[in-house]
Structure 1
Amino acid sequence: MLTLLSGNVQAAPALDGFWKGPLKVPGGQWEIIFRVVTLTGGKYFATLDVPMQKVTHMSVDVQIHGDTVMFVAEEAASQFVGRLSADGKQVEGTWQQPGLKAPITLVYSTPPASTGTKVRLTPPYREEEVAFTNIPVNLRMAGMLSVPPGKGPFPAVVLVSDAGAQDRDATIGDYRPMGALADFLTRRGIAVLRVDDRGVGQSGGTPATATTAELVADVQAALNFLRTRPEVDLAHLGIIGHGEGGNVALLTAAQPLPPAFVVTLGAHGLPGRDIVVQQQANTLRSLGTEAAQIEAATKRQQAMLDIIQQTPDHAQAQAIVANMLRQNNEAIDEATAQASAAELTSVRYRHFLNFNPTEKLAGVSCPVLLLHGTADTYAALDANLPLLAKGLRSNKNVESRKLPGVNHLFQSDPASWPIVAGQQRETFSPQAQEMIREWIIAQAKKQ
């Protein structure tokens, strides 16, 4: 998710890197880690890690006002507000979440060197920068097509990223899940097209207004583009979708001219609103928040979601939500509340709250592989995978598989990550990669 920057953009401090500090909590302390990357257009991308609570890569909004820095984790109903030191090396402030308000000092460290999760500059296959058009809306999309060595045509896939405006590699800090998966598959005989989302890189459009139906049209355009390529085996052209991208892949398969197969990675089975509510509750629970505090936070969240869904006038909804945010958290200033309210009342967010991912699954007839990690706290396996399988019950070629210890980003337990140059390297689950490859090749052999 692209984060927001408020205040004087020209005077904004350089925050690129890691900001770490110990947070004292009842019974001990947690290490809090914010990862910040400066983007173009005066924006930041940031994530939150709390290793002891198994919180990884949680999206964070960044707000800057002079030397005041605010990190807002809506998912956890939490925030940090602090003042940047004169030398730019630390931020002293306060962490606040339901049931906890504590001082913390974040200290800056430079980001680690780029790791092997990024595709090599000279891979043993051909890479081609490509562009195509979503013709009905005249929208230009850009991406990278990677083609295996040797004589084709090859089985091929379109990769569809999770929610939020992401680049073709779905880059999160130094972790590039789609880039890593594309590299793995291309080296093993499967052509891959990965695309910059709307409004990212060279792709046109505005991500804040893109509904799920419009994202389906983008994927259909990607499939049609690959159907023009002689390197692609047209009988074995599929889609791999991560998170919400998995739901987009399934919806695309329910349309005319469907793909030959679909692989979902942690797709949603619950309606959008239920996902949002469960996500906050799970995150607060993982942070050690007391049950009564979680219940109170959920009630406030439900009240806000009622306003968003039942107030059609956008300006009015935004004003009410901004007021609710400030009343729920007195530390949030007006500019921050307005920025958050604008996102929460956007066309895309409203659509997501009303989205029922199982509604059209009866129309999917191609083979489907549903993959889900047991450590997924964003789209919990037990709450989502059974609903997807039930929605696809009329399709006799559906497989559901559980990946022990794998989280929503399809990473294994961090203890198993390799160490490169003294740093643990975040990696896409090798078990998941091999499972995807074997299943795709098996589908090609059946036909």
Structure 2
Amino acid sequence: MKRYALSTVAIVCLLAANLMAQDATTTTWSGTLDANGTELRLEFDVTEGGEKPTAKLRSLDQNNAMFDAKFEQSGDSFSFAIMQLGAKFDGKLDEAKETISGTFEQAGQKFPLTLTKGETNAAVVETLKEAWVGKLNMGIMNPVMQFRVMESSADDPKCYFDSITEGATGFAGTWKIADGKISFKIPPIKLTYEGELNEAGDEATGVWNQGGRELPMTIKRQPTEYDSENVWENRPQRPKGPFPYNTKIVKFENEQHNLTLAGTLTIPKTPGKHPAVILISGSGPQDRDETLMEHKPFLVLADYLSRRGIAVLRYDDRGFGSSTGKFKGATTQDFATDASAAVDFLKAHDRIDANQIGLAGHSEGGLIAPIVCELRDDVAFVVLMAATGVDGKTIINSQTEAMLRVEMTEPEQQAEMEIGIELNRILVARAVEGTLDYEDPELKEQVDALLDRLPEEESKLAKEVIGSTIESAKKRLAGKWMKNFIEYDPRPALAKIKCPVLAIIGSKDLQVLPDLNMPEIEKALREGGNDNFKMVTIEGLNHLFQKCETGSMNEYITIQETWNPEALKQIGDWIESHVTLVE
């Protein structure tokens, strides 16, 4: 289901890059992109002198990340295409030939951008001075955060912010130590931190503020930056050749919504038409690999199934990666039309058996797959991976309670935990009713009564920030996708599935509780007259099908396993038993 993400707006993939020396034939075009309130300084360096001009994009506020760009000029029309990012800039040169005014486009979003001609910035040499690292206690999730303090040849108080857990790194800012306090300002993501230093000056206790939300946070100084071995390159299940299948980058159209989906199709090398499965990702904008916390679950699953003779199509969500369209504002039902378009694409493919195309949806993808079966009657089989069987309101309440109970185990945390559970129920219920407004005297009275159960000082502090917290919750819960999710009941669609179904889940899934959801999925299938299904709960697995300790989201990144082998085998064996493989 929905996974917590920092409220950042990024236009690049946040890959670290070194500044590159420019020669005398390089012209720099600089501008500031306002992406929904987040300002990012960009530079396009155009180098001439070779057979044809070359260009690079540098994002100054994101660790000086640099990407190759394809540059074209026709008269006064300039164009930069950044293939790595699925982004482009098109503009017109003014009469003075000093500025280019145009539009920067990425993931279906368009922003005005004006570039000014100037000299290339001199390369600034930066070295790490120290790092300040801490965990942000959010109750359900405790992401690791880092501020990297730099020593620079420009002699400015430069720092970079990294969200280690999320893999979002390189946001530029400034820092200061004065009067026994340390502070950081990271303008690109509207983040500030200010803390009181201890006597030794190596630890600070303070407040994290982002977008008006304040949380306590302690950070500690260390001489080197945070070192994590939990990166994708080191994961043991990262696919490695030789591969007994061909990999094709593909695109297909959703004509109903006038957008193009981009993805990857893996087809076994054995000649003939192969059975195929379409992977449908969970909630939130996802790439074709369902990349999350240095894991790529769909890449691992596609590799496993294609090695077993099954073709696999996985694709970037609309408005994300290389797919066009707009993600924001789209509902689960809209995403179902994307998956249906994927079925149409495979049915027309000369290496795919049109009568053996199935769907495998993870989390929200398990909501989407049954809707696709409502839209069409030619789906050969369905795999529901950690899918929900009850309405979204029940899901949110149940997962919030389960996660808090796992994370807040200390005796002194119990009162706060129970208040958090009850407060969540109140806010979700109000959101469903359309009455979530902290200015409402009845709601304020309810909330204040809850907070009065805390110790006096904690209660006072909580009351100071609860208004902004509720306002943030109101915006999140009022979004088109969330409102639809809260109200949507998957059982009617499940009851209409007529093809074979595998429902599989982990016993320690805290986002989709197995004891709550699996019986409802089974009941809906039976009531619809479908007795060709299999229900599988694997002991000790979390929402991502990893072997885990508690099921906490905080474990996702630290677990080396991307897919538990037993889960892979269950899915592979079941699909193989319902299709005919090419010999």
TM class, shorter-chain normalised?
0.7 to 0.9
* Residue from 3, 7, 22 that aligns with 2:6: 3
Q: Is 2:494 the partner of 1:361?
A: yes
1:191 maps to what in 2? 311
Q: 1:337 to 1:181 in 2, by over 3 A?
A: same
Q: Identity percentage over the alignment?
A: 29
Q: Which amino acid aligns with 2:577?
A: A
1:167–1:103 distance in 2 versus 1, CA, 3 Å: closer
CA distance in 1, matches of 2:563, 2:286: 17
Aligned to 1:418: none
Q: Does 1:439 align with 2:559?
A: no
Larger Rg: 2
Aligned to 1:240: 360
Is this contact kept in 1: 2:245–2:268, CA < 8 A?
yes
Q: Which residue, 174, 179, 184 being the options, matches 2:294?
A: 174
1:426 positional shift? 2.9
Instruction: State the partner residue of 1:400.
Output: 535
Cα shift readout 1:353-399 (whole Å, capped 9, x = no counterpart): 10111122221110000001001011011011111110101201011
Q: 1:23 to 1:194 in 2, by over 3 A?
A: closer
Q: Which has the higher contact order (CA 8 A, sep 6+)?
A: 1
Q: Equivalent of 1:426, from 525, 541, 561?
A: 561
Q: Of residues 118, 132, 144 in structure 1, which corresponds to 2:252?
A: 132
Preserved CA contact (<8 Å) 1:269 1:387: yes
Q: Aligned residue for 1:218?
A: 338
2:462 corresponds to 1:348: no
How far has the Cα of 1:139 moved from its partner? 1.4
| Cα separation, partners in 2 of 1:64 and 1:281, compared to 1, 3 Å | farther
**2:275 aligned to 131, 143, 155, which one?**
155
Aligned to 1:296: 419
Rate the CA distance shift 1:144–1:339 in 2: closer, same or farther, 3 A. farther
Whole-Å Cα distance in 1 between the matches of residues 461 and 328 of structure 2?
26
Give the TM-score normalised by the residue count of structure 1.
0.75
Task: Report the alpha carbon displacement of residue 211 of structure 1 after superposing the two structures with TM.
Answer: 1.0
Deviation at 1:136, TM superposition (A): 1.1
Answer yes or no: is the 8 Å Cα contact 2:317–2:327 preserved in 1.
yes
User: What CA deviation, in whole Å up to 9, does each residue of 1:304-334 have, x standing for no partner?
Assistant: 223322339xxx97998xx999996645896
In the other structure, the counterpart of 1:109 is: 226
The residue matched to 1:359 in structure 2 has which SS? helix
Q: How does 1:370-385 map to 2 (within 5 A)?
A: 370-385=503-518
CA deviation vs aligned residue, 1:412-431 (integer Å, no higher than 9, x gap): 1379xxxxxxx963321111
- CA shift in 2, pair 1:235/1:103, >3 Å: closer
Q: What residue identity is the alignment partner of 1:273?
A: K
Partner SS, residue 209 of structure 1: coil
Deviation (angstroms), 1:122: 6.6
For structure 2, the 5+ residue unaligned runs are: 9-36, 42-59, 66-130, 147-160, 175-183, 197-201, 210-214, 449-459, 551-557
RMSD between superposed Cα atoms in Å: 4.2
Gaps of 5+ in 1: 25-30, 37-43, 49-56, 71-79, 416-422
SS in structure 2 of the partner of residue 141 of structure 1: strand
Looking at structure 2, the residues matched to 436 and 212 of structure 1 have their Cα atoms a distance apart, in angstroms, of 24
Out of 284, 295, 315, the position equivalent to 1:164 is 284
Whole-angstrom distance in 2 between the partners of 1:128 and 1:438? 25
Cα 1:84–1:304 change in 2 (3 A) is same
Query: How many Å separate the matches in 2 of 1:398 and 1:46?
Result: 42
| Residues 280 and 365 in structure 2, CA contact (< 8 A), matched pair in contact too | yes
Amino acid at match of 1:355: Y
Q: Within 1, Cα distance between the matches of 2:241 and 2:348?
A: 26
Q: Is the 8 A contact 1:20 1:32 kept in 2?
A: no
1-side partners of 2:499 and 2:418: how far apart?
42
Give the structure with the larger helix fraction. 1
Q: Secondary structure at the match of 1:375?
A: coil
CA contact (8 A) 1:125 1:149 kept: yes
- When normalised by structure 2's length, the TM-score is 0.59
Assess, with a 3 A threshold, how the Cα gap between structure 1 residues 330 and 438 changes in structure 2: closer, same or farther.
same
